C-alpha cells in the first residue's frame, strides 16, 4: 500500500542498513580479524541476509519463560536487567560479584552477522552486537588450572514462571572448553540490530558460539565459573544420548530422533526454504582445527 510519509529508515530493510555498517567497519579497520588465511566472520557473513528484528525476537527458546516459541516475547518483558549482578568465581585472579556494567562497560562492542543453527533443525541469520568472550576472561584473569568455562542463567522465580516446574534442572547451565571460550568467534552478545538485547533473547548478556547448536548459547547469564572438570550442560544432563558436551553443528551426525543434514530457514514463509546444514555451521575454516584427532561421532 502507498505510504506517502515513509522515512528513509522505513524503506531500508534492516539487513541492508546492517550490511552498510559492516562494510564500513571493514573498510575502516583495513585488515581482517585473523592473522591466519582462514575466512573471517565478515567473509562468512558475506551474502547472508539477516532475519528481521521481528523474526529474531518473536521465535525464541527460553524455557524459563515457557516452552512455546512465542512465550518468551510475551512473558519475559517484566524481567529487570539493570542493575545486574554477574558472579565470577572458580580459578580466576579476580573473583567477585560484579555489577555487570562495571565489568564490561569499557569493552568496545562490535557488530557481527552470524548464522544461528538450532538443534531442532531450524536456522536464522542474526546481526549481534557484543564482544569476544576472551576479552571478559582477560579482565578477570584465568588461572593455570582452569580448563573449562561454566555458565549459569539467573533464576528469578518472580518473573520466570516456568522455573517452579521441573521442565529442566534449573539453573540452565552450559560449558565450553577453554580453547573454545578463547576463540575469537565466541561472543558475549549484549545487543542485536544495534539495539539493546531484548529480554527474550537473553538480556543483559548471553553467549553466542556460531559453530555450535543454539542451545549452547546460554541466555541471561548470572554466573561464570572457571573450572577444571568438564561441566555437564542442561540438555546433556536431561538426555545424554541425544545431546553431548560439544554440540558442534554436524550434518553427518543425526539427532537420534531426526536428521541434522538440513535446516529450515525461519522466515521462508509458506514455501519455507530448506537448506543443507554445513559442517560447523559454515565456520569449519576457523574452528575445525580445535577438534583435530577427535571422533566427532563420539564427541557429539
Ligand atoms: N538459555 C536459557 N537460559 N534457557 C533456554 O531455554 N534455550 C537455548 C538457548 N539458550 C535456552 C537458552 C536454545 S535451545 C536456543 S536454540 C537458543 O537459546 C535460542 O536463542 P534465540 O531465542 O535468541 O534464538
Cell numbers at 177, concatenated: 572448553
pLDDT at residue 25 in the model: 44
Q: Which residue has the cell 578463547?
A: 182
Has residue 241 got a pLDDT over 60? yes
Q: Which residue has the cell 573473583?
A: 95
Has residue 94 got a pLDDT over 50? yes
Going by alpha carbons, the residue nearest to atom 14 of ligand 1 is 215
pLDDT at residue 35 in the model: 43
Q: Average pLDDT for residues 135-147, to the nearest whole number? A: 98
Q: Which residue has the cell 573471517?
A: 40
pLDDT at residue 42 in the model: 79
> Which carries the bigger pLDDT value, residue 49 or residue 94?
94
Is 280 touching ligand 1 by the criterion CB < 6 Å?
A: no
Closest atom of ligand 1 to 172 CA is 3
- The per-residue pLDDT for range 210-223, each reduced to its tens digit, is 999 999 999 999 99
Cell numbers at 89, concatenated: 568465581
* Mutate-to-test residue for ligand 1 from 60, 219, 266, highest number of ligand atoms within 8 A of CB: 219
pLDDT band at 48 (very low <50, low <70, confident <90, very high): confident
Q: Which residue has the cell 546444514?
A: 277
Has residue 45 got a pLDDT over 70? yes
8 A C-beta contact, residue 185 and residue 211: yes
Is 150 touching ligand 1 by the criterion CB < 6 Å?
A: no
pLDDT band at 1 (very low <50, low <70, confident <90, very high): very low
Has residue 265 got a pLDDT over 60? yes
Q: Could you state, in order of their start, the residue ranges of all structural domains in the chain?
A: 8-291
pLDDT at residue 270 in the model: 65
Burial group, residue 144, by CB count within 10 angstroms (0-12, 13-18, 19+):
exposed
Give the percent of the chain with pLDDT over 70.
Answer: 86
Has residue 29 got a pLDDT over 60? no
pLDDT at residue 39 in the model: 73
- The per-residue pLDDT for range 161-196, each reduced to its tens digit, is 999 999 999 999 999 999 999 999 999 999 999 999
What distance in Å separates the CA atoms of residue 174 and residue 133, rounded to the nearest whole number? Answer: 14
Going by alpha carbons, the residue nearest to atom 8 of ligand 1 is 215
Buried b (16+ CB within 10 A) or exposed e, 174-192: bbbbbebbbbebbbbbbbb
Is 151 touching ligand 1 by the criterion CB < 6 Å?
A: no
pLDDT band at 36 (very low <50, low <70, confident <90, very high): very low
CATH number, span 8-291? 3.90.420.10
Is 219 touching ligand 1 by the criterion CB < 6 Å?
A: yes
Going by alpha carbons, the residue nearest to atom 9 of ligand 1 is 215
Give the Å distance between the CA of 28 and the centre of ligand 1.
33
Give the Å distance between the CA of 118 and the centre of ligand 1.
9
* Mutate-to-test residue for ligand 1 from 51, 217, 238, 265, highest number of ligand atoms within 8 A of CB: 217
8 A C-beta contact, residue 196 and residue 79: no
Has residue 262 got a pLDDT over 80? yes
Buried b (16+ CB within 10 A) or exposed e, 266-298: bbeeeeeeeeebbbbbbbbbbbeeebeeeebee
pTM, two decimals, is 0.88
Q: Average pLDDT for residues 25-31, to the nearest whole number? A: 42
pLDDT at residue 4 in the model: 38
Give the percent of the chain with pLDDT over 90.
Answer: 81
Has residue 132 got a pLDDT over 80? yes
Q: Average pLDDT for residues 21-31, to the nearest whole number? A: 43
HSE-up of residue 74 (Cα within 13 Å, Cβ side): 10
pLDDT at residue 27 in the model: 41
Amino acid at each position: 500500500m502507498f505510504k506517502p510519509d515513509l522515512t528513509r529508515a522505513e524503506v531500508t530493510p534492516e539487513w541492508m542498513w546492517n550490511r552498510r555498517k559492516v562494510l564500513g567497519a571493514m573498510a575502516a579497520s583495513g585488515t581482517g580479524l585473523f592473522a591466519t588465511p582462514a575466512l573471517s566472520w565478515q567473509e562468512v557473513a558475506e551474502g547472508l541476509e539477516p532475519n528481521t528484528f521481528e523474526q529474531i525476537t518473536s521465535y525464541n527458546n527460553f524455557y524459563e519463560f515457557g516452552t512455546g516459541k512465542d512465550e518468551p516475547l510475551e512473558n519475559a518483558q517484566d524481567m529487570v536487567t539493570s542493575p545486574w549482578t554477574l558472579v565470577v568465581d572458580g580459578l580466576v585472579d579476580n573473583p567477585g560479584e560484579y555489577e555487570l556494567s562495571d565489568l564490561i562497560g569499557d569493552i568496545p562492542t562490535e557488530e557481527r552477522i552470524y548464522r544461528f543453527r538450532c538443534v531442532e533443525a531450524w536456522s536464522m541469520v542474526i546481526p549481534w552486537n557484543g564482544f569476544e568472550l576472551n576479552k571478559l576472561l582477560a579482565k578477570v584473569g584465568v588461572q593455570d588450572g582452569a580448563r573449562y568455562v561454566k555458565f549459569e542463567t539467573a533464576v528469578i522465580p518472580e518473573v520466570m514462571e516456568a522455573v517452579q516446574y521441573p521442565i529442566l534442572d534449573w539453573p540452565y547451565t552450559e560449558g565450553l572448553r577453554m580453547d573454545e571460550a578463547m576463540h575469537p568467534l565466541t561472543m558475549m552478545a549484549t545487543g542485536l540490530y544495534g539495539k539493546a538485547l531484548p529480554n527474550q533473547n537473553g538480556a543483559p548478556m548471553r553467549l553466542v558460539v556460531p559453530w555450535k547448536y543454539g542451545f549452547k548459547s546460554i541466555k541471561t547469564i548470572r554466573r561464570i565459573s572457571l573450572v577444571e572438570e568438564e561441566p555437564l550442560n542442561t540438555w546433556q544432563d536431561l538426555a545424554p544420548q541425544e545431546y553431548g558436551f560439544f554440540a558442534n553443528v554436524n550434518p553427518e551426525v543425526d539427532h537420534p530422533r531426526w536428521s541434522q543434514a538440513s535446516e529450515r530457514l525461519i522466515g521462508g514463509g509458506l514455501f519455507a526454504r530448506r537448506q543443507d546444514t554445513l559442517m560447523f555451521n559454515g565456520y569449519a575454516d576457523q574452528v575445525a582445527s580445535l577438534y583435530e584427532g577427535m571422533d566427532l561421532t563420539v564427541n557429539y
